[in-house]
């Protein structure tokens, strides 16, 4: 086909109409008209040249009016996230994607646009403070997933995020309690006569022993515990949906697991079960296997969000230092296992991580870097076979 260079007509300060021939069909010439955004005629010419090159290579895409915002939201919908993360992802699009990209289509975006967007995010003030490095990375990964999907479905010719580095997330300093500090906290919670404190103590004890997530602990039922085998069959977790609390299967196969229970925790739970049965019976309710282990004092569920809030208040009332989050008990559990040289795969399974890389990413810095034992093992294996 004879190459036609096409034409460019300015429609606005940064708007240009491209016109070029696609070929012919049934003896009729096929012409494409496409409006693009470019800073000047030279930039518009570069776009036209790229279109002609794609045409000649057979890789020219059909024009699409799918906007960046629509692309991001469609990607979130198709990802089938948990309700909580779905809401978070759509909030990211509304707050941090839509204001910058507006009505721009996905086909208009170039790597320079992605870089400019990331620079603007670094300068943004949200809730009176700059966005955290980890948040910047999360936002960028969401948009990267959207463009990767668009390229795979040939909605766009090239993924503009590929050549742009993700923002680096600085590792947050992980505050981990010592065993004496944890023992002190348990004693203070036990000694406090306030009901909110007494309900936190069993949760704290179980979290330290199992390393389970707060939502998983909140959904623990007596029927999930096998006292004879000393095991917790963990299959469900509570999820906060607005003001509603829903019990759902754990999000993936790795999260659905069986956790071995230490003798100390088994004995504690047996005593606690008896105490709860007496309390509920006084309120007119006979304890049944489907009852929650950690209830609100009246047999009903406790929201993980409420527990997190009560936990922070409790530490302030007790003047306990350091002021850690409840999730730090999970870190404490993992740190003890690592210090005890438990196999990293077993640690990953116990924590319910999707893969061992997640465990290594979070806790790798806690692992002993002394490899003298490895050297000794090699030496011992070769002893007698080498002169």
**Is pLDDT larger for residue 365 or for residue 124?**
124
Three-state DSSP class for residue 302: coil
Average pLDDT taken over every residue of the chain: 89
**Cα 304 from Cα 252, distance rounded (Å):** 19
Percentage with pLDDT > 90 across the chain: 57
The mean pLDDT of 124-150, rounded to a whole number, is 90
What does the domain layout of the chain look like in residue ranges? 7-57, 68-152, 179-366
Phi and psi of 94, rounded to 5°? -65, -40
Percent of the chain beyond pLDDT 70?
96
Could you report the per-residue pLDDT of 163-200, keeping only the tens digit for each?
A: 999 888 766 677 889 999 999 999 999 888 777 777 89
What's the average model confidence in pLDDT over 117-140? Answer: 89
Q: What is the CATH number of domain 179-366?
A: 1.10.443.10
DSSP state of 22: E
> How many residues can be counted in the chain?
387
**Residues 244, 169: Cα–Cα separation, whole Å:** 32
Segment 212-245, tens digit of pLDDT = 999 999 999 999 999 999 999 999 998 877 677 8
3-state class (DSSP) for residue 172 = coil
DSSP one-letter string for 318-333:
TT-SS---TTHHHHHH
Query: How many beta carbons lie within 10 A of that of residue 24, not counting itself?
Result: 10
C-beta separation of 267 from 274 below 8 A: no
Please write the tens of the pLDDT for every residue from 43-85: 999 989 988 988 888 778 888 889 999 999 999 999 878 777 8
Q: 290-307: b or e for each residue (b if 16 or more CB lie within 10 Å)?
A: ebbbbbeeebebbbbeeb
How many CB atoms sit inside 10 A of residue 363's CB?
A: 20
Please tell me the pTM assigned to this model: 0.71
Q: How confident is the model at residue 297 (pLDDT cuts 50, 70, 90)?
A: confident
| CB-based burial label for 125 (10 Å; 0-12, 13-18, 19+) | exposed
Nearest to 95 by CA among 127, 71, 65, 63: 127
**222: CB partners within 8 A, 6+ apart:** 273, 287, 288, 289, 290, 291, 293
What's the confidence (pLDDT) of residue 1? 38
């Amino acid at each position: 086909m004879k190459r036609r260079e096409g034409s460019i007509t300015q429609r606005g300060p940064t708007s240009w109409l491209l016109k070029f021939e696609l070929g012919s069909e049934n003896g009729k010439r096929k012409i494409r008209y496409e409006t693009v955004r470019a800073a000047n005629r030279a930039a518009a010419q570069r776009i036209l040249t790229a279109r002609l090159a794609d045409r000649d290579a057979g890789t020219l895409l059909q024009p699409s009016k799918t906007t960046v915002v629509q692309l991001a939201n469609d990607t979130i919908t198709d990802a089938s996230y948990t309700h909580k993360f779905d809401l978070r992802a759509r909030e990211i699009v509304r707050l941090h994607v839509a204001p910058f990209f507006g009505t721009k289509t996905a086909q208009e975006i170039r790597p320079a646009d992605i870089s400019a967007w990331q620079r603007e995010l670094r300068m943004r003030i949200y809730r009176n403070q700059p966005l955290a490095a980890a948040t910047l990375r999360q936002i960028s990964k969401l948009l990267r997933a959207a463009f990767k999907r668009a390229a795979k479905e040939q909605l766009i010719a090239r993924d503009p995020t590929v050549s742009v580095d993700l923002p680096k997330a600085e590792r947050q300093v992980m505050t981990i309690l010592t065993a004496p500090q944890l023992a002190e906290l348990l004693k203070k919670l036990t000694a406090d006569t306030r009901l909110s404190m007494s309900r936190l103590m069993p949760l704290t004890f179980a979290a330290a022993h199992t390393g389970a997530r707060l939502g998983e602990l909140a959904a623990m039922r007596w029927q999930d515990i096998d006292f004879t085998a000393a095991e917790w069959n963990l299959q469900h977790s509570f999820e906060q949906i607005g003001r509603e609390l829903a019990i759902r299967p754990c999000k993936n196969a790795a999260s659905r697991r069986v956790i071995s229970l230490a003798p100390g925790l088994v004995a504690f739970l047996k005593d606690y079960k008896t105490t709860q049965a007496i309390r509920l019976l006084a309120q007119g309710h006979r304890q049944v296997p489907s009852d929650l282990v950690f209830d609100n004092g009246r047999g009903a569920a406790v929201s993980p969000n409420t527990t997190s809030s009560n936990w922070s208040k409790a530490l302030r009332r007790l003047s306990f230092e350091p002021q850690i989050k409840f999730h730090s008990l999970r870190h404490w559990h993992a740190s003890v296992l690592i210090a005890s040289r438990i196999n990293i795969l077993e640690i990953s399974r116990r924590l319910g991580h999707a893969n061992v890389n997640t465990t290594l990413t979070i806790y790798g810095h806690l692992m002993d870097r002394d490899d003298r034992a490895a050297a000794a093992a090699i030496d011992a294996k070769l002893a007698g076979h080498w002169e």
